Chains A and B, each alone.
Chain A
Amino acid sequence: MSKSDDKMIGAVLVQGGGIAGVQASLDLANSGFKVYLLERDAAIGGMMAHLDKTFPTGDCATCIVSPKLVECARNLNVEILTLSELTGLQGKPGHFKATVRRFPRYVDEHKCTGCSECTQVCPVDIPDEFNRCLGTRKGIAKLYAQATPNIFGILKQGHAPCKVKCPAKVNVQGYVQLIKKKEYLKAVNLVRQRNPLSAICGRICTHPCESVCTRGKADDPIAIRLLKRFASDKEIEMLEAGKLALPEERTPAPGAKKVAVIGAGPAGLTAAGDLADAGFAVTLHEALSAAGGMLRWGIPEYRLPKKILDHEIELIRRKGVKFVYNSRVGRDITFQSLRDDYDAVFLSAGAQKSRKLRIEGEQINGVLHGVEFLRDAASAAKPAVKDRVVVIGGGNVAVDVARTALRLGARRVEMVCLEQRDEMPAYKEEIEATLAENITIRNGWGPKRITGNGSVTGLELKRCTRVFDEQKRFSPVFDENDLATLEADQIIVAIGQMVDEQLTGHIQAQSERGCFRTDPVTGQTSIQGLFAGGDNASGPASVIDAVAAGKRAAESIERYLTGKDLLPGRFESTVNPMPDELLPSTGKIARMDRPQPKELAPANRLKNFEEVEKGLTEEQAVAEAERCLNCALCSECNRCVETCQQHAIDHAMKERTLTLDVGAVILTPGFKEFDAKRKGEFGYGRYPNVVTSVQFERMLSAAGPFEGHVIRLSDGRKARRIAWIQCVGSRDSACSNGYCSSICCMMATKQAMVAGDHVEGLDATIFYMDIRAHGKDFDQYYERAKAQKNIHFVKSIPSRIIQVPGSNDLRVHFLDADSRLQQQDFDLIVLSVGMEPPEAMARRASSLEIRLNDFGFCHTDRLSPLSTSRPGVFVGGAFQEPKDIPETVTQASAAASMAMELLAPARNTLITKKSYPVEHDVTDEQPRLGVFVCHCGMNIGSVVDVERVVESIANQPDVVLATHTMFTCSDTSLSNIKESIREHRLNRVVVASCTPRTHEPLFRETLREAGLNPHLFEMANIRDQCSWVHSAAPQSATEKAVELVKMAIARARMLSPLEGGTLQVDQTGLVIGGGLSGMTAALALANQGFPVHLVEQTNRLGGTLHDICGTLEHPDLTQFTSALIRQVEQHPNIKLYLETEISGIKGHVGKFLLTLAKDGRQLEVSGGAIIVATGARQAKTSDFMYGRSEGVLTQIELERLLHDRAYPAKGQNIVMIQCVGSRNDQHPFCSRICCSMAVRNALAIKKQDPAANVFVLYRDIRTYGFRELYYQQAREAGVVFIRYAPEAPPEVRDDHGLLVALKSPDFPEPLRIETDTLVLSTGIEADLKNNKRISDMLKVPLNADGFYVEAHTKLRPVDFATEGVFLCGLAHSPKFIDENISQARAAAARAATVLSKTQLDVSAQVSYVNQQKCISCMTCVTVCPYSAPFCNKDGKGQIEAAKCMGCGICAAECPARAIQLHHFETDQFLVMIRQLFAGKDGELSPVGHLARGTPPSEGSGQDPELLTDDRPEENLLERV
């Protein structure tokens, strides 16, 4: 191996763009690694983006997650690959080759600006998976409103059955959708792309499409043929009304290759048109005097008016096709001359001869044949028709013949055919029309003999007993003894057609069964350059088959003439059927009638050939198009393609595979919700008012399908009585999900609380097994919910739900507290669906060589919770074990820390740092403003008159350039801005477009690239604040836009360049606390190469870990503990301080100073980041005779005895009491670990002596996640779990032996247990004194229970609000060993984002104190959440820029107005306000005279007030 091979790759692949993937990516990218973030969906955000609110703070989930997503998208070192999946992984840790499959978005990510115009024109409405099918979305859409990346995408999985079934592959769904949107011309054009005979097929197509229409499974198939007819007729109507002109006539270019088409039937017309479109010189030779073939000569005019036929032939002629009539091969031209004169020939002469019966009497005068009869009928010389006509045959031609004969004057027409009525080959509607015209049909008879003497007198029939054999082949069997006779003057035989044998005689291509033999795919014959299609190649078939043959031949001939291969990549091979399982379900569709077109009354039909069937009315057509279910999702109608001005849409995009070189992989694919349909007893999918918990989140969400209204789906009524059913698909071995999903209890509790704000008079009931509120501060939230009068918690899982007929109310059957069967009715039921592993991982695990556990989650060990079975591949989030948001975020950071340790040598090797040109100094320049007003396509432009806005502001002072752009954020426009800055020497830029939230960074970046300070930029939001909110009032919206832009201009003139500073980072870690968490965090940093000072107040490492003998999975932890301690002690990067107290903390992120006190000596150490891991301790109790009776132990004491095999369990009665000293007024929190500990000890006792009786007295058993399995094991082992109510705790007495008395809500009688050993689960408590001391020094908060408070419970679980200080372990809250390990590593990863940098940028947008105005009140010091202000040596307030977060609270609170926030200075806002009111009431003058340029700097003495005018601000603001 060469040396370069040996270098680790400093890049990490993260699979899964939920909050875990996003957090891991940010931590890695911010500490010097390149990240590929893969997401299977079209946008990142995962489940969190679906949630409405998060508890306990009631934050909007989207609002807190969006900034993270945007941060991810903006980070130069995070490459987001959406619609991507990791499918293979080769190599070893540090050197992986990852295979990534990228699914097509059909939208170019780099071109799409997110303007949403495509979605506005998209006609397709499909169920919105994001909203869990509670609403619809468009075929082209963003995954959700705030999606990152902010671009659109199209959903496609295959083509609709109608298109697949159509021989010509006409995009049926597409034109049906366009008709729905009344885009009739576009619809016809779409049809004509695959079928030039739109109006014709709209009348006479056999519509195989309708036979496979998915809608047909629910009620009736869509009337596709009639819709096509409707749109085509609209076109003709417009032509006739002069609203539309025929297309220009074209002529082929001189020298174009020549093609001859023989026969102007549907196949010939189609091929000729296509070939002319392709630029060839096409000549169409037709044997008869007019074009159309069977369309003209075979189909009677009452079905297909000649006008329609002529119209579509004319359209083809105008493409440049030359028609030569009366030109029959063999008669008027020779085949040889065709071969000589043309480069290619297409034979489409049809099957023009009638088949003969070959029975006695067929030659008698008065026996006619169908094709010839119809041809004559279509010509000027109508054939003579006798009184009594019998037609032989049961196909469409026979029907046409019969009906034509009637119209030509026959008095009685009878049909005879072999087939039974339902076997007849003619279409049902044709047969019905025939019967309606009083034509009789004799089914099941065959002709035996035609009688007559010179002229026909009748027909002898024999009974046909069977038409088809078992193989469905035509093989009639007759009963020669069952005969009948019919009288007739005329007999017309219409039993089929055949190709004229003369034609095949002239052309010596191979033939079989009388037809030309062709390649089924290409239509090529045995002769080079000769192609054949339509009836003369296939035998008699339908019009649409002929069209398809014409299309195929044209494609072949074009390829043939341009020298291309005929076979590969043909159009038809691109049409793939939608998989059946993805087709829309038809179970729940409301029946809607298919329209019946008007018809000419039978009485009026017989006198003439007037068209019988009338088309649909517009109303009918649009309503019918609405019935389409959009099987293929995207209809490929191309409206988006036409509309997109960025040309971003490409329907032909293909799936791609990439290979990425990465050093490590982190799997954060999240979870899949349990499919509630699997619990059939709850009626999900059957009863409309049963929804899942995720659907309910979407319901609550203001951005959801019901805008936050909680309704019954059955009738839209407000849902007032709502029930939650917990553990649907969790803790349920019956559906193989024995584990607990951990999050549902709190989710339901939160949902009930939030629903209370949405629903007046809410009556909520939560049916549960145990309420698992085991997280930090969760129990307090649960208690608050319980205290609500309208939220009821019922410990019972309902047996079933039925829907009360008539009302759609849901009746829940459950056992009440007294074990009595109860029924209660609700409006809405929410099923709290559990978590299952993501499907993709089940598929991919083996190729990634990742071991899964029995449930399909990632297999991990409790002592290394972030490592998969494959080295170098790490895991985080719900895929590892069901968990909530804070734990997911924690694990994500922890997994990032694992990757950092592995790849530490490769840190900073692959990251991109952007360099910018030197900033142009604008200090002494007069402002020169460039203003760019954005149309945002139609988004702004359709409401706001953008050009007027530009005109109105062009003459504002200092504006040197005012212009408008279609999409200001597109790459081209950004280049233009840069160019303009140079050309016009702009030194301020204003963009009026969308929101600064998403776009300001982009424009600031552009300024930097052009050499301008990014703070010289200002933005006006004329989309959200004008075009969106005032879309109904364009006039006012425009005026408002003008005002907003003027205000922005006014402010921009006041802007000044700001320089953020940098500060040097001391790349050393400081860890306080030497327990499991402190040691783990210290090692995680040390392994990355950072020196660490680890401070421990006791005389040994290990902390409370020494008290724990083992866990459920690892009975003995001694080895683990000692190995960990040894590693820390021996690590060269760790400097250990035992028996050392912290006596002082100073400094800020990048440079902290700890003063250590050891043995009375003081010592100072410094570092760039601090990790607080000070732990907690086992709670003490004196309840339940503890300390007074020998038989009373704590769980830890019992565990020690069991571990040391010192506990005599033999035949004993053991009682465990849970929640001793927890979940009460003194300790309102849950200690999280005690239930599992009790289960573990109980199992150990049972193992030691199965005869021992173990009773666990509990309130809720909180064995969440996979720990639930041990709870199940314990019950199976015979451990007895008895519930007690907190208001009636067990009573313990010791009179000659312990006695536990209890009144359980689950037992009718009081219980008394003679007890040998009583075990108390006393839980964990904070070390209040120590925590108080440290938190004071760090200026970080503690909660009411004495635990440290993190910066944000959900998304910053290991950060403090103070930059550079992090938190982990029991000091945060009670938790298990694996959770402590994760949290410690997470803290290390977060610290590494600081320590990995040599210097930190300090934001320029910080506050500063005007020292002259400061009155030393120190309000700023009190109000700042980040401890940035301090009292300086002059006794004045001063702000530590490194700590300032730019929130502006101090500036707002400062009573002396001594504080200003850079870039948000008072004068900058005052000019905006003045601008707004300038000239309005004559009092406030325009602001043109105001001073500009240099801003006041700290201590410069300039007073912002002096810059405006003498008037005190108060007065000014009062006016406002």
Chain B
Amino acid sequence: MRYAYFPGCSAESTARDMHQSTLAVARALGIDLVEPKGWTCCGATAGHQTDHFLAVSLPAANMAKVRDMNLDMVVSCAACFNRMKVANHEIAAHPATRKQVGEALERDYDGSVKVRHFLEVLLDDVGLKAISRAVKHSLNGLKVACYYGCLLVRPPKILKFDDPENPMSLDRLVEAIGGQSLDWPCKVECCGGGLSLSRTDVVVQLTDSILDMACRAGADCVAVSCPLCQVNLDLRQQDIRKQTGRNHQMPILYITQLVGLCLGIRRDELGFEKLMVPASTVLEKVAAN
């Protein structure tokens, strides 16, 4: 199992824990991840909001590089994943766009690189059975609220990732490593990622309601797979406490961190120290078995 792995910018900054844990899990499961040389921004930043052409050509530039590697492209950031898929769709569906992008890249790119989220690799290529077998420490019935956010599943016709209203990929993975995935209503609610800095007040409201539902559902932690969601849900708990007095103290973990933990990977290799809300309850529970 060999893939071109596009880390994206957050993997080297705010989501280094995601990056670290992805690599560690891949290693443990025999997945070979190769970084394309000279990768650039995927356009999920201001790019795609300001310039439609930039929003397509930035991801295309990266995918063109992967095209040469003759590998499927694996992405672990939901925003990158979304940009790549959408760009592929635009290029494949509109010959004019393809031509325009080709001119900018000074090479033709046909939108054919297969873009896959790291979760898909775990679910489809490695398989839940193999992961179950590889588990060294079960999650031991840990109650996990799986949170998908918007970028992984929408627009469904393009991303074709999972049911946009009630996705189950993360839940199945959590069950496979011995956790109890919760049926809770906010799996795909917006966390306000796009307004994180400009309208913090709105973000506090949105994240508060999501975390509130997770608490009511009895979650021990929330599992995410998008760096924007993670930061938002993790970081804003402080603001929520200040503004509303509610202290959720809800650990927000990357799914790869949970999987890594179960595979017996050392915590420091999984970036646990980067969490704002410490995951001590989770760690205790897993350690208990």
Query: Is A683 among interface residues, defined by CB-CB distance under 8 A?
Result: yes
Kindly identify which residue among B166, B182, B216 contacts A804, using a CB–CB cutoff of 8 Å: B216
Closest-by-CB residue of A relative to B187 is A802
A681 touching B185, Cβ below 8 Å: no
B163 touching A805, Cβ below 8 Å: no
Closest-by-CB residue of A relative to B133 is A422
Q: How far is the CB of A826 from chain B (nearest CB, A)?
A: 14
Q: Mark A672-705, 1 if CB is under 8 A from B, else 0.
A: 0000000011010010000000000000000000
B164 touching A806, Cβ below 8 Å: no
A804 touching B185, Cβ below 8 Å: yes
A680 touching B164, Cβ below 8 Å: yes
Kindly identify which residue among A680, A681, A805 contacts B213, using a CB–CB cutoff of 8 Å: A805
A806 touching B216, Cβ below 8 Å: yes
User: In the docked arrangement, what's the CA distance between A806 and B213, Å?
Assistant: 10
Residues from chain B with Cβ under 8 Å of A805 in the complex: 182, 184-185, 213, 216-218
Query: Is B120 among interface residues, defined by CB-CB distance under 8 A?
Result: no
A686 touching B166, Cβ below 8 Å: yes
A680 touching B166, Cβ below 8 Å: yes
Closest-by-CB residue of A relative to B163 is A680
User: In the docked arrangement, what's the CA distance between A143 and B265, Å?
Assistant: 60
Query: Is A630 among interface residues, defined by CB-CB distance under 8 A?
Result: no
A802 touching B213, Cβ below 8 Å: yes
Residues from chain B with Cβ under 8 Å of A811 in the complex: 185
List CB contacts (< 8 Å) of A776-823 with chain B.
802-806, 811
With A803-B185, A804-B185, A805-B184 as contacts: A681 and B165 at CB distance below 8 Å: yes
Q: How far is the CB of A804 from chain B (nearest CB, A)?
A: 7
Residues from chain B with Cβ under 8 Å of A806 in the complex: 216-217
Q: Mark B135-175, 1 if CB is under 8 A from A, else 0.
A: 00000000000000000000000000001111000000000
List CB contacts (< 8 Å) of A613-632 with chain B.
none
A683 touching B216, Cβ below 8 Å: no
List CB contacts (< 8 Å) of B206-222 with chain A.
213, 216-218
Closest-by-CB residue of A relative to B216 is A805
Which of A681, A805, A806 has the most CB atoms of chain B within a 10 A radius of its CB? A805
User: In the docked arrangement, what's the CA distance between A806 and B182, Å?
Assistant: 12
Query: Is B186 among interface residues, defined by CB-CB distance under 8 A?
Result: yes
Residues from chain B with Cβ under 8 Å of A686 in the complex: 165-166
Closest-by-CB residue of A relative to B182 is A805
Q: Mark A1120-1142, 1 if CB is under 8 A from B, else 0.
A: 00000000000000000000000
User: In the docked arrangement, what's the CA distance between A804 and B213, Å?
Assistant: 7
Residues from chain A with Cβ under 8 Å of B213 in the complex: 802, 804-805
Closest-by-CB residue of A relative to B215 is A805
Closest-by-CB residue of A relative to B164 is A680
Residues from chain A with Cβ under 8 Å of B163 in the complex: 680
User: In the docked arrangement, what's the CA distance between A802 and B189, Å?
Assistant: 10
Q: How far is the CB of A418 from chain B (nearest CB, A)?
A: 20
Kindly identify which residue among A680, A681, A683, A802 contacts B186, using a CB–CB cutoff of 8 Å: A802
Interface SS, B side: loop
Q: How far is the CB of A686 from chain B (nearest CB, A)?
A: 6
User: In the docked arrangement, what's the CA distance between A804 and B186, Å?
Assistant: 10
Closest-by-CB residue of B relative to A685 is B166
With A805-B218, A806-B216, A806-B217 as contacts: A680 and B165 at CB distance below 8 Å: yes
Kindly identify which residue among B164, B182, B185, B218 contacts A802, using a CB–CB cutoff of 8 Å: B185
B165 touching A683, Cβ below 8 Å: yes
User: In the docked arrangement, what's the CA distance between A618 and B186, Å?
Assistant: 44
User: In the docked arrangement, what's the CA distance between A805 and B182, Å?
Assistant: 10
Q: How far is the CB of A1339 from chain B (nearest CB, A)?
A: 59
Q: How far is the CB of A715 from chain B (nearest CB, A)?
A: 16
Q: How far is the CB of A1131 from chain B (nearest CB, A)?
A: 57
Residues from chain A with Cβ under 8 Å of B217 in the complex: 805-806
Q: How far is the CB of B117 from chain A (nearest CB, A)?
A: 20
User: In the docked arrangement, what's the CA distance between A686 and B163, Å?
Assistant: 12
User: In the docked arrangement, what's the CA distance between A804 and B183, Å?
Assistant: 11
Q: How far is the CB of B276 from chain A (nearest CB, A)?
A: 24
User: In the docked arrangement, what's the CA distance between A681 and B165, Å?
Assistant: 6
Q: How far is the CB of A1187 from chain B (nearest CB, A)?
A: 53
Closest-by-CB residue of B relative to A679 is B165
Residues from chain B with Cβ under 8 Å of A680 in the complex: 163-166
User: In the docked arrangement, what's the CA distance between A804 and B189, Å?
Assistant: 14
Closest-by-CB residue of B relative to A680 is B165
Closest-by-CB residue of B relative to A823 is B209
User: In the docked arrangement, what's the CA distance between A139 and B189, Å?
Assistant: 42
Residues from chain A with Cβ under 8 Å of B165 in the complex: 680-681, 683, 686
User: In the docked arrangement, what's the CA distance between A811 and B216, Å?
Assistant: 14
List CB contacts (< 8 Å) of A635-686 with chain B.
680-681, 683, 686
Closest-by-CB residue of A relative to B165 is A680
User: In the docked arrangement, what's the CA distance between A1403 and B163, Å?
Assistant: 64
User: In the docked arrangement, what's the CA distance between A564 and B284, Å?
Assistant: 74
Q: How far is the CB of A585 from chain B (nearest CB, A)?
A: 14
Q: How far is the CB of B288 from chain A (nearest CB, A)?
A: 25
User: In the docked arrangement, what's the CA distance between A1187 and B169, Å?
Assistant: 68
Q: How far is the CB of A815 from chain B (nearest CB, A)?
A: 15
User: In the docked arrangement, what's the CA distance between A802 and B218, Å?
Assistant: 16
Closest-by-CB residue of A relative to B184 is A805
Q: How far is the CB of A1313 from chain B (nearest CB, A)?
A: 34
Residues from chain B with Cβ under 8 Å of A683 in the complex: 165, 185
Q: How far is the CB of B180 from chain A (nearest CB, A)?
A: 13
Residues from chain A with Cβ under 8 Å of B218 in the complex: 805
Residues from chain B with Cβ under 8 Å of A681 in the complex: 165
Q: How far is the CB of B184 from chain A (nearest CB, A)?
A: 6
User: In the docked arrangement, what's the CA distance between A804 and B216, Å?
Assistant: 8
Q: Mark A806-844, 1 if CB is under 8 A from B, else 0.
A: 100001000000000000000000000000000000000
Closest-by-CB residue of B relative to A687 is B185
Q: How far is the CB of B222 from chain A (nearest CB, A)?
A: 13
Residues from chain B with Cβ under 8 Å of A804 in the complex: 185, 213, 216
User: In the docked arrangement, what's the CA distance between A543 and B175, Å?
Assistant: 37
Closest-by-CB residue of A relative to B129 is A422
User: In the docked arrangement, what's the CA distance between A3 and B216, Å?
Assistant: 82
Residues from chain B with Cβ under 8 Å of A802 in the complex: 185-186, 189, 213
Q: How far is the CB of B250 from chain A (nearest CB, A)?
A: 14
User: In the docked arrangement, what's the CA distance between A680 and B164, Å?
Assistant: 8
User: In the docked arrangement, what's the CA distance between A191 and B121, Å?
Assistant: 46
Q: How far is the CB of B1 from chain A (nearest CB, A)?
A: 17
User: In the docked arrangement, what's the CA distance between A681 and B189, Å?
Assistant: 10
List CB contacts (< 8 Å) of A91-107 with chain B.
none
User: In the docked arrangement, what's the CA distance between A802 and B217, Å?
Assistant: 12
Residues from chain A with Cβ under 8 Å of B164 in the complex: 680
User: In the docked arrangement, what's the CA distance between A830 and B182, Å?
Assistant: 25
User: In the docked arrangement, what's the CA distance between A681 and B218, Å?
Assistant: 23
User: In the docked arrangement, what's the CA distance between A804 and B212, Å?
Assistant: 10
Q: How far is the CB of A106 from chain B (nearest CB, A)?
A: 37
User: In the docked arrangement, what's the CA distance between A238 and B282, Å?
Assistant: 57
List CB contacts (< 8 Å) of B235-265 with chain A.
none
Q: How far is the CB of A586 from chain B (nearest CB, A)?
A: 14
Closest-by-CB residue of A relative to B217 is A805
User: In the docked arrangement, what's the CA distance between A681 and B163, Å?
Assistant: 11
User: In the docked arrangement, what's the CA distance between A680 and B184, Å?
Assistant: 15
Q: Mark A1445-1460, 1 if CB is under 8 A from B, else 0.
A: 0000000000000000
User: In the docked arrangement, what's the CA distance between A804 and B184, Å?
Assistant: 8
Which of B182, B185, B189, B218 has the most CB atoms of chain A within a 10 A radius of its CB? B185
Closest-by-CB residue of B relative to A802 is B185
User: In the docked arrangement, what's the CA distance between A141 and B163, Å?
Assistant: 36
Q: How far is the CB of A727 from chain B (nearest CB, A)?
A: 18
Residues from chain A with Cβ under 8 Å of B186 in the complex: 802
List CB contacts (< 8 Å) of B194-229 with chain A.
213, 216-218
Q: Which 3 A-B pairs have the closest CB atoms?
A: A680-B165, A802-B185, A805-B217
Q: Provide 20 A-B residue pairs closer than 8 Å at the C-beta atoms, listed in order of the A residue.
A: A680-B164, A680-B165, A680-B166, A683-B185, A686-B165, A802-B185, A802-B186, A802-B189, A803-B185, A804-B185, A804-B213, A804-B216, A805-B182, A805-B184, A805-B185, A805-B213, A805-B217, A805-B218, A806-B217, A811-B185
Known: A683-B185, A805-B213. 10 other contacts (CB 8 A): A680-B163, A680-B165, A802-B186, A802-B189, A802-B213, A803-B185, A805-B216, A805-B218, A806-B216, A806-B217
